[in-house]
Structure 1
């Protein structure tokens, strides 16, 4: 909305709607502000950095599900996150009012960059970039990828009305250990109005090591193939699969061992894992032997019964062991496992909790333990293959699921010694976004310490400006947020006050604002929404017609109901009872005095 410079016009239309006396006499007018969530507000601040129209409309639908309440949507129709709002089912009529520029301009944009989060030094990593063109003419441009000011890839591209989308794939070489930043660009075409969406930044963390993963399973299951594919989507990881668990396996050759549906057959390998303090991931299912697992004293146990249950995932937003974004866990199918309560005897962090039949619990679905430099991961359910399939249906790609499994493998296979202070931050943040940084601090026994005071100092590399803020203790984690930071490179130092414990890191704020990727209002989508819900589309200069239509719509006329209740003025039942009591009393009195 700021890009279209329509803030004043929207506020003017909003004011006329809520101050119209005739509308006020007919409706109770409630004002809501929305960006990525819905908020109750009488004023609009235009500070949101993401837009989720679907979620906002769905929330309103739930609030007014018993009411015949029209919804007026003041928007340019451009959504940056969430489900397609065009498919929403609503009993309430929706009346979109279009703001922004409705003129169509030629526009090139980089829609998406797909890249693995990690790579290994002196190896190639794949980059996939999706380019789109909106226009009628034939145009030519050049796509480039820069790193440290140097062009590392370049390709000429042509677009026209019919050939308006291209997928560019290439392999770049990891040359320097650490976080490597890249910029993908499309050269501007003639008369292109919006060039902000011609540029997109991405980063890759280059690691100087390779990983060999061993998967041991007592049964054949679709999860095994899915795990292998997800792990090996990173070419620097190799997977060895074994079903012959009693065979001669050199477990010390692997950085991580994955044990699937553990039972007594794993006895020798478990002894080897314990003797060598090896990292492992345990995936439990309906064929797991919980009596055997409980005897191993891994730090957790389960009172399992011979009855299966479906466990849907709920993301733990306070999880700090490693950084994991929400890939739509609440829309994933449930995992299956034996029913029972899980208890822990060691410190642990849960990435996902269990949702049972719509009820959120604090029982873990995926958890991690770390003690004496040994890392243990536990997935309390089988059916990961359904998650990968569901992720593909949502995103038309396996990338997010594969990165999710990759994050788990990356953490568990790392041989780095545990630090008392861990800090999590993104490598890249879009312009105008909220910079969230979380920290996890433990005492000398590696137990979470809620008594500490933490502070962070961030420094803009170019301006040398320092910003210092204290961390807040929220849900067993330390968190801090920065707003309105300028684009640029930043370093940070996190300190534990009173202790000589510090953690250093860096991040970059790009000049790419996701809200500025659109060149015009999405009139077609708003019109489809109006037609689907029985409403009507209006333009910002035609708001008076909207007012008139709402006032004249017979479905919103006020109706009066009268209830007639008939009741006798005198209740004869009570009078009869009173007469009986009086006659009875007279008889006893006369009898007592000998009158009868």
Structure 2
């Protein structure tokens, strides 16, 4: 905005008679001192001078008592703004003449804004992949693909791994919906591989949108590994399938060899023929899981035969001829058994939540059908609405409760918790057979595990659970996660809690049924089940875990995509296993060449965090240590950063989408950006003809009580001091 002018005036909203009283007061006290009094200075001119000072001070004080207000009117002009948005992903450089297209984009991004600035527009520039980032249009751009680089004094790299055009459009709308925007100029190839379809369901700014096309719109000759279909987890001793889809464009009559490598060793390969100009082949491999850990699976496809060398030279890019995925080989899954009295919607909600964790399996049996052979094969037992007052617990379940098996008790109004041993449930129930509805409130002091971040705001909107009417008292060993809330009255009665008895046996209790409504509400609010599923799975994880007495613990991911940030968290405990942050933790990261990168953790409340940012694809290892009570503690691990090659597709640029989007939003498709000879002025003229340039005048009025200005206080104090000093030197009082 441009500051136009500042106007100020005084407002005194006081009756006329108060002005007279104030003036009479100031004049009267001045005359009383210097016209009637006899102890003032003898020199006439000095008496007059001091009288004027006294009159000024008293006059200003009386004026301030009338509560004058200083009103300031500021006028600012908001000029029309043109938004430049540039696709920062690497799909634009696939195909022929990529160097010319890189230079053309750099030329357009650097010089097109100048034309608009000369015509009185404000300019804001952005670059996007999956989200918007501000871009100074005076910076050079660097575009890198397959090691080829075009740059000046650049700071921005145009090789982001994913494209989400819809998210960029939505974010512009969020940022600028209340700004004076004349139009938006998008530069993109029209290929989006993440998020919503930009043509449907995307909220645009209500201004003309103009599109400049990048990328290669011609049919590109290429062989690529299009997809790898696989399970992220497999189990030791089994064979797991790897299915891949290979596409070949423009190589009819040629042969393609597809090879499977596991941890760098060739396991299998298939040769197939390309029968059309655009052909696809689905190939299925079986891979044995011989050892636990993370397996590196690489699929490589390449042309073979007499003309293979010539054909490979004509490919648009070789970087998409291979793709790597990682499969985690586990020794076994966590097995969970749900024993229920009868069918209930909660059972399905619990089962789906448990199965959202790929490391768990779940089985459901009815209390009347339980078999002795099934119980020992499960690590965790969940009882739903058992026992009831008219039906005692099955003997096999009672035996399981008496054992060391972790158990989660879930029951509503029909459940008789009095039949269950207090040392396992941790509650003393004084409930009746009547039913009531209770809501949940979070115990902010709960610390057994980290609750989902979005849980607390969700709790306020969750429907109530059905429970038995009455009071529930918690034993000293009970750790409460959620308390019962009766309408607006918060209680200290547990709703969702965990118990650990003197023998170290762990159990949990949920005093209510209707959990399926919570899962549905989670989806309605957040478009996913993450909060509810997290609550269930965190509870199961706690119940199944053994006590960790390590004083130094680090949590780190094992596999990340290249566009994700690598984050660590750590905890340090004193000799009493209380968390402390009084020590320093260092971490060293090693790449595959053993090059070292040193980091230090920062502290937040009772734990440590470290954000290493985004790393290049590859395999890394890390070692972290700290010195606690004079002893060195050390943790280590491995991390795999997966390369994303979804931008290396041979799909031609989709400029027809850009034409439809521009027509839909009152703009125009300006044309393809294919050579260095970019006619910025011609395209700018097309934009000027379709946008409405207007300047908006903003007026801001500020009102401030004059008595709040400190300068007036210091002036009055100075005048009073001057008068008093002079009178004292002249013998007055």
- TM-score under structure 1 normalisation? 0.69
2:169 to 28, 33, 57: 57
> Which residue is equivalent to 2:659?
527
1:542 and 1:523 mapped to 2: Cα distance?
Answer: 19
- Show structure 2 runs of 5+ residues with no match: 1-87, 94-98, 142-155, 429-433, 463-480, 484-495, 698-733
> Which residue is equivalent to 2:157?
46
Greater RCO (Cα-Cα under 8 Å, separation 6 or more): 2
1:83 and 1:444 mapped to 2: Cα distance?
Answer: 52
Shift of 1:491: 1.8
SS state at 2:451 partner: strand
Matches within 5 A, 1:101-500: 101-134=216-249, 137=252, 140-157=255-272, 164-188=279-303, 190=311, 191-221=314-344, 224=347, 239-244=362-367, 251-260=375-384, 275-280=402-407, 339-343=439-443, 345-351=446-452, 353-354=454-455, 374=506, 381-382=515-516, 411=541, 418=548, 419-430=550-561, 434-443=565-574, 448-461=579-592, 463-474=593-604, 477-482=607-612, 485=615, 487-498=617-628, 499-500=631-632
> Which residue is equivalent to 2:114?
19
Shift of 1:174: 0.8
2:253 and 2:411 mapped to 1: Cα distance?
Answer: 56
1:552 to 686, 689, 692: 689
Instruction: Judge conservation of contact 1:432–1:513 (CA < 8 Å) in 2.
Output: no
Q: CA, structure 1 residues 469+357, in 2 after alignment: closer, same or farther (shift >3 Å)? A: closer
1:122 and 1:159 mapped to 2: Cα distance?
Answer: 36
Instruction: Judge conservation of contact 1:455–1:496 (CA < 8 Å) in 2.
Output: yes
**Deviations along 1:77-102, whole A, 9 cap, x unmatched?**
33343222232232333222222333
SS state at 2:452 partner: strand
The answer to whether residue 201 in structure 2 is matched with residue 92 in structure 1 is no
**Number of aligned residues:** 520
Q: CA, structure 1 residues 507+536, in 2 after alignment: closer, same or farther (shift >3 Å)? A: same
Query: Could you tell which deviates more after superposition, 512-521 or 86-95?
Result: 512-521
1:35 to 129, 147, 158: 129
Instruction: Judge conservation of contact 1:89–1:533 (CA < 8 Å) in 2.
Output: no
Instruction: Judge conservation of contact 1:348–1:370 (CA < 8 Å) in 2.
Output: no
Shift of 1:176: 1.0
Instruction: Judge conservation of contact 2:658–2:669 (CA < 8 Å) in 1.
Output: yes
2:187 to 67, 74, 86: 74
Q: CA, structure 1 residues 235+431, in 2 after alignment: closer, same or farther (shift >3 Å)? A: closer
1:147 and 1:357 mapped to 2: Cα distance?
Answer: 44
Q: CA, structure 1 residues 238+66, in 2 after alignment: closer, same or farther (shift >3 Å)? A: closer
2:515 and 2:568 mapped to 1: Cα distance?
Answer: 31
Shift of 1:458: 1.8
2:254 and 2:521 mapped to 1: Cα distance?
Answer: 40
Shift of 1:192: 1.9
Instruction: Judge conservation of contact 1:107–1:192 (CA < 8 Å) in 2.
Output: yes
Shift of 1:493: 1.1
2:619 and 2:377 mapped to 1: Cα distance?
Answer: 40
SS state at 1:57 partner: helix
1:286 and 1:156 mapped to 2: Cα distance?
Answer: 65
1:54 and 1:244 mapped to 2: Cα distance?
Answer: 51
- Show structure 1 runs of 5+ residues with no match: 309-337, 562-596
Q: CA, structure 1 residues 485+240, in 2 after alignment: closer, same or farther (shift >3 Å)? A: closer
SS state at 2:320 partner: helix
Instruction: Judge conservation of contact 2:568–2:611 (CA < 8 Å) in 1.
Output: yes
SS state at 1:196 partner: coil
SS state at 2:105 partner: helix
Q: CA, structure 1 residues 352+466, in 2 after alignment: closer, same or farther (shift >3 Å)? A: same
Instruction: Judge conservation of contact 1:440–1:478 (CA < 8 Å) in 2.
Output: yes
1:139 and 1:287 mapped to 2: Cα distance?
Answer: 71
Instruction: Judge conservation of contact 1:120–1:236 (CA < 8 Å) in 2.
Output: no
**Deviations along 1:106-132, whole A, 9 cap, x unmatched?**
233334434333322211233343444
Q: CA, structure 1 residues 487+23, in 2 after alignment: closer, same or farther (shift >3 Å)? A: same
Q: CA, structure 1 residues 386+37, in 2 after alignment: closer, same or farther (shift >3 Å)? A: same
Shift of 1:405: 11
1:358 and 1:546 mapped to 2: Cα distance?
Answer: 53
SS state at 2:130 partner: coil
RMSD value, Cα: 5.1
- TM-score under structure 2 normalisation? 0.58
Instruction: Judge conservation of contact 2:554–2:571 (CA < 8 Å) in 1.
Output: yes
Larger radius of gyration: 2
